[in-house]
Amino acid sequence: MTILVTGGAGFIGGNFVLDWLARHDETLVNLDALTYAGNLETLKSVQAHPGHVFVHGDILDSALLDQLLARHQPRAVIHFAAESHVDRSIHGPMAFIQTNIIGTFQLLESARRYWQGLEARRQQDFRFLHVSTDEVYGSLAADDAPFSERHPQQPNSPYSASKASSDHLVRAWHHTYGLPVLTTNCSNNYGPYHFPEKLIPLVILNALAGEPLPIYGDGLQVRDWLFVSDHCSAVRRVLEAGRAGETYNVGGCNEKTNLEVVRTICSLLDGLRPRADGRSYAEQIRFVSDRPGHDRRYAIDAGKLERELGWRPAETFDSGIRKTIEWYLANAEWTAHVRDGSYRDWVSKQYG
């Protein structure tokens, strides 16, 4: 038995690959283009693992996709690969259209050709699991109910519009061709191996480096945080027992304002790695220009996943954020290598 994972050198895909190989004997083929966000150092511990087949390649390359599916005969495709950073999508939307829309289309087409050639039993068991985001639903007001799977899609950024497009393609390939698809829409993840362009790792590493902690606008935007290993367990559970054609929301019931998140990180760091001058890291907080079109609030209702498949997150925000900070403190080499020249170029483009 084999599964094919796309984007398994990124943050969530990388955590998924490590968790999967620790739990299953099944071979995992990991297709990743190694963009700026893909990092083979995340996969160092499984480099020589007999069940891990890493393929450096692009989901836009349909000949490669056809070849991989024919050679490895996977029982499932789990699709993490994407351009994932909202701010980058504002500076340069084209890569998001290419990978998130055209790339998902190519993957669906190759999966369809492969699936149609399988014998009946294997056709029935095959799954295409599309990993998507809560951002496709748009933005909530303070007193709105959390997003359910029935919430209309109202994406507001080039990133979320490209992910919503990919969700629609996945839905259509099920409805029209019968491809057995599953879609998960998850809230904000955090945890080990998170690229430091995103809020939580950026704040941890900037704090330790004595640099400003940038808060967009008033810092009162709300995100619903989920520890990454809980997202991985949700994906495994949906793959195992989700109903083909269905969409499942994944979230941690951990709504926090950005200011709360940043202050929590500062106070944990004050205890775990005090500043040399004895002052709080919170003194490094700086309010900067807001993100254009910044969504105010995301919140996920994950009740369907709990009721139908019995999934619940294992971590609270308090336990997860402490684990995350401890991981960054213990893995200075990984972060030093990530913060190389191209990362510094991004920081000067975004923050001036």
Q: Which residues bind ligand NAD (CB under 6 A)?
A: 6-7, 9-13, 32-35, 37-38, 58-60, 80-84, 99, 103, 131, 133, 163, 186, 188-189, 195
Q: Which is nearer to ligand NAD, 3 or 284 (CB)?
A: 3
114, 137, 159, 298: the catalytic one is 159
Task: Answer yes or no whether residue 202 interacts with ligand DAU by CB under 6 A.
Answer: yes
Q: Which long-range contacts (CB under 8 A, 24 or more apart) does 236-241 make?
A: 236/19, 236/20, 236/23, 237/305, 237/309, 237/310, 237/311, 238/129, 238/182, 238/184, 238/305, 238/309, 238/311, 239/76, 239/78, 239/127, 239/129, 239/182, 241/309
Q: Is 287 in the site for ligand DAU (CB under 6 A)?
A: no
d(CA 56, CA 186): 26
User: Which of ligand NAD, ligand DAU, none has residue 11 at its interface (CB below 5 to 8 Å by kind)?
Assistant: ligand NAD
Is residue 265 at the binding interface for ligand DAU, with CB under 6 A as the rule? no
Q: Which does 6 bind (CB under 5 to 8 A by kind): ligand DAU, ligand NAD, none?
A: ligand NAD
**Residue 216 near ligand DAU by CB under 6 A:** yes
1: CB partners within 8 A, 6+ apart: 26, 27, 75
Per the CB < 8 A criterion, the answer to whether 287 and 219 are in contact is yes
Contact 59, 103 (CB under 8 A): yes
Q: Is residue 228 near ligand DAU by the rule CB under 6 A?
A: no
Question: In this structure, what token pair is assigned to residue 34?
Answer: 């190694």
Return the percent helix, strand and coil in the chain, to nearest 5: 50, 15, 35
Residue 216 interacting partner from ligand DAU, ligand NAD, none (CB closer than 5 to 8 Å by kind): ligand DAU
Q: 96 burial class (0-12, 13-18, 19+ CB within 10 angstroms)?
A: buried
- Per rule CB under 6 A, is residue 250 in the interface with ligand DAU? no
Using the rule CB under 6 A, is 263 a contact of ligand DAU? no
Which one of ligand NAD, ligand DAU, none is in contact with 298 (Cβ closer than 5 to 8 A by kind)? ligand DAU
Determine whether 135 is an active site residue: yes
Q: Based on CB atoms, which residue is closest to ligand DAU, 67 or 153?
A: 153
Spot the catalytic one: 135, 167, 197, 224.
Answer: 135
Task: Specify the stretch interacting with ligand DAU by CB under 6 A; choose among 78-86, 117-125, 172-180, 228-236.
Answer: 78-86
Region of 80-88, 147-155, 314-322, 331-339 interacting with ligand DAU (CB under 6 A) = 80-88
- Is 134 a catalytic site residue? yes
With respect to ligand NAD, which residue has the nearer C-beta, 21 or 59? 59
- Bridge partners of 223? 256
Number of residues that bind ligand DAU (CB under 6 A): 19
**What whole-number distance in Å separates Cα of residue 102 and Cα of residue 60?**
7
For residue 223, state whether it binds ligand DAU (rule: CB under 6 A): yes
* Residue 127 buriedness (CB in 10 A; 0-12 / 13-18 / 19+): buried
Pairing status of strand 222-224 against strand 255-257: antiparallel
Residues written for the chain:
352
Measured CA to CA, the distance from residue 40 to residue 34 in angstroms comes to 8
Q: Which stretch binds ligand DAU (CB under 6 A): 23-31, 194-202, 232-240, 271-279?
A: 194-202
- Taking CB under 6 A as the rule, does residue 32 contact ligand DAU? no
Residue among 281 and 311 whose Cβ is closer to ligand NAD: 311
Structure tokens at 218: 């008033």
Residue nearest to ligand NAD (CB): 10
Least distance in angstroms from the C-beta of 294 to ligand DAU: 6
CA distance linking residue 49 with residue 53, whole number of Å: 8
Cα–Cα distance for residue pair 92/161, rounded to 1 Å = 14
C-beta of residue 326 within 8 angstroms of C-beta of residue 268? no
Q: Which residues are catalytic?
A: 134-135, 159
Q: Which positions lie near ligand DAU, rule CB under 6 A?
A: 84-86, 133-135, 187-188, 198-199, 202, 214-216, 221, 223, 258, 291, 298
